A and B are shown apart, each in its own frame.
Chain A
């Protein structure tokens, strides 16, 4: 018996089609994983299930009956509970208080003793070792997540939606979390598990739906598939050689990474003895499932994240001790960061000011500690024209530019600094076709002029389009390096799922 049927749902945001005719059947008492890259539409789908968005077309059937929801409150009343990636807990309150918070009771007093007793029983019945009287801030992340689950269960939810539940957990917590999902399944709860981590899917899911670009590309029983096959479906593209690709003869090695080790913001190891070489006039693409250390790699090279061990050599010089500024000025490392709105630009500053963001304290942008506004205006007019940035005035805050034009501002700034090495992270994310083409052509020009480009992206087709070699990252390592013509979706899928050692 299908517990939930997602019946041909379509949802668009403006011209962007986030979900396209999605049809998924979810059995009662099963763990159903929805697997896909970032931007595949998973979160949109879950928000529809939870009543946060309304679908443009299609409907949701719960136990065979169409479901009409206009808010999360309706979803809860139908027994659908959602556990968000970021917990919605009040840290200074106890577990009981958090669970009870928001329950309807009018103006009557809350009987905490009774609630606590029931919560303790509930926790015990699903095998959660949680003390209801503990204050939430004293609990580790894994426990807090269980409090979130208890919140949903206490509201009689029999469907649990978990959005990337393991992304906030420490590696040691993941195992027991997955076990707790199995316990919940044994209690006949239906679990929808959104993730992009293959091994977790293989570990607990009964059935897997793979999504890509807002469409369902596959739906299989977990027992009948392999991580390799799933990765292939996520990637889902046969290799087509890009005819625009510019041939160039790579020069000598200008960037050499040796056994890089670094940790992410949560203190978990993100780079694990990673090594590679980049030559002048070459585009080295790095891809992989999001969250395997790509961001940390880019930041380590640019000098924004400390290196725990290993060496980065630029043109034969160890740049480990250099800070961001000296890496740019002395080693010639340009950096287009992943998060253009929060790292690459100061949104409230005018476009002209953003053009000099990384040169503000040097001539010609400033002299004797005074900013040269005339130069800034001239420079801005010049760059706006040459890089075709569409805006009303260079004095306009960069906030009001479209994503593509913001990216052009960053690219213009980094390229005009005449880098020898350019690290580009997720350059095409969220851009329209025209802007993507601009970015790609710019990279080809750089390559032709002898710049070494490290192109890091989870968007495989863009990497395949422009890279001369492709390295695949998995858990902080490069599991394999391929030439574009070797990069079949099968081979890439293997490397992305970390099964390199079995086949090499």
Chain B
């Protein structure tokens, strides 16, 4: 009995998602559609169709990197809600490196462009990190507002100094084809960014657990006062942690340019950075779980069209379901085992068991 409840508790995020899907099915029923059929086409299309899975992976890359961009600062005690803006700044820096640097040996040039993207995101996030560490300004507000600044800077760049001559709306010239990221599932658009993202998730999980850098990062997150006592430069670490998160989001933005769009478009991201927040929380800020949560979320996004085509459910229902996932996951996070009624009841029961065991032994 105790085990069962504990299991339910540990997997609470999954139950939150299931609940969200159940409530979503009520929406579908009200639209006169069989939810089982709709969900089958949604997930079948997103994960079990070659082209559909390719489309899922296209969205997977930025959502995964944005998820990591939120998860890493969370472990360091910081809440980065600015992944969206960091994606845009990363894309901008990457596009500048791709368009204006003279072409040279391609793997190196590609690497430089990707790193430029990471640098752009890191710079954008470090602003918030610096203001938090040295001026005490709430990083949630700064990162949130910098989103809009970043998005608008890209709109300005793509519509002004970087615009392609004769373009009907704001976008830049195409980057050299030598810089296109390799595709991994031809003929779909799925590109190597997804693999790099998974690799980074594994590396980051290792870094957090086994390196002194990760130790400093998580110690500042768990107890800044003890971190200072341990000789860690708490303020500097906060800036670095934030910059690392921003670098990941910026890399996601760079991969959008190098792998999918090949140009800098204005308003090119449909909110990947905000999906990253949900993904990070679903994964409990554990880098190794972020790819799983990101895959689910990108599947929801790409499967929406399949569902619409197959069952006639408007894809806005998916928007509603995504919203429900956010709400239920957030609600599930508020449930703490030890503090919940269940936790207390179980603790009482255990205490009683402990009392009874010696009695039973005596009786036996």
Contacts and interface: CB of A to CB of B under 8 A. Distances in A.
Given A360-B215, A369-B212, A345 B230 contact: no
B212 A370 contact: yes
B229 A304 contact: yes
Interface string B197-216: 00000000000001111011
A371 interface: yes
A129 to B, nearest CB: 31
B212 A344 contact: no
A339 B229 CA distance: 11
Contacts of A304: 228-229
Contact of B211 (A302, A343, A357, A369): A369
A405 to B, nearest CB: 17
B212 A358 contact: no
Contacts of A345: 223, 226
Interface in B208-245: 210-213, 215-216, 219, 222-223, 225-231
B75 to A, nearest CB: 12
A132 B196 CA distance: 61
Contacts of B223: 342, 345-348
Given A369-B213, A370-B210, A323 B225 contact: no
Given A370-B211, A371-B211, A358 B222 contact: no
A50 interface: no
B215 A335 contact: no
Contact of A346 (B210, B211, B222): B222
A468 B228 CA distance: 31
Interface string A54-85: 00000000000000000000000000000000
Nearest to B231: A325
Interface residues of B, number: 16
A15 to B, nearest CB: 18
Contacts of A328: 231
A493 interface: no
Contacts of B229: 302, 304, 324, 335, 337, 343-344, 357-358
Contacts of B226: 342-346, 357
A199 interface: no
A486 interface: no
Contacts of A360: 212, 215-216, 219, 230
Contacts of A343: 225-226, 229
A349 B222 contact: yes
A223 B212 CA distance: 62
A370 B213 CA distance: 8
A358 B210 contact: no
Contacts of A324: 228-231
A218 interface: no
A324 B234 CA distance: 12
B230 A357 contact: yes
A201 to B, nearest CB: 33
A366 interface: yes
A361 interface: yes
A358 B211 contact: no
Contacts of B222: 346-349
A335 B219 CA distance: 19
A357 B215 CA distance: 9
A345 B223 CA distance: 8
Which of A342, A346, A348 is most buried by chain B, counting CB atoms within 10 A of its CB?
A346
A304 B225 CA distance: 9
Nearest to B227: A346
A323 B236 CA distance: 14
Nearest to B219: A346
A458 B230 CA distance: 25
Contacts of A373: 210
Interface string A25-63: 000000000000000000000000000000000000000
B209 to A, nearest CB: 8
Contacts of A357: 219, 226, 229-230
Contacts of B215: 360-361, 366, 371
Contacts of B212: 360-361, 366, 369-371
Nearest to A373: B210
Contacts of A369: 211-213
Contacts of B231: 323-325, 328, 358, 361
Nearest to A342: B225
Interface in A289-332: 302, 304, 323-325, 328
Contacts of B230: 324, 357-358, 360
Which of A339, A347, A358, A361 is most buried by chain B, counting CB atoms within 10 A of its CB?
A361
Contacts of A371: 210-212, 215
A337 B211 CA distance: 26
Contacts of A339: 225
B141 to A, nearest CB: 16
Given A324-B229, A360-B230, 15 more contacts: A324-B230, A324-B231, A342-B225, A343-B229, A345-B226, A346-B223, A348-B222, A357-B219, A357-B226, A358-B229, A360-B212, A361-B215, A369-B212, A370-B211, A373-B210
15 contacts: A324-B231, A335-B229, A347-B223, A357-B219, A357-B226, A357-B229, A358-B229, A358-B230, A360-B219, A361-B212, A361-B231, A369-B212, A370-B210, A370-B212, A373-B210
Closest A-B pairs by Cβ, 4 of them: A325-B231, A361-B212, A346-B223, A357-B230
Interface of A: 302, 304, 323-325, 328, 335, 337, 339, 342-349, 357-358, 360-361, 366, 369-371, 373
Interface of B: 210-213, 215-216, 219, 222-223, 225-231
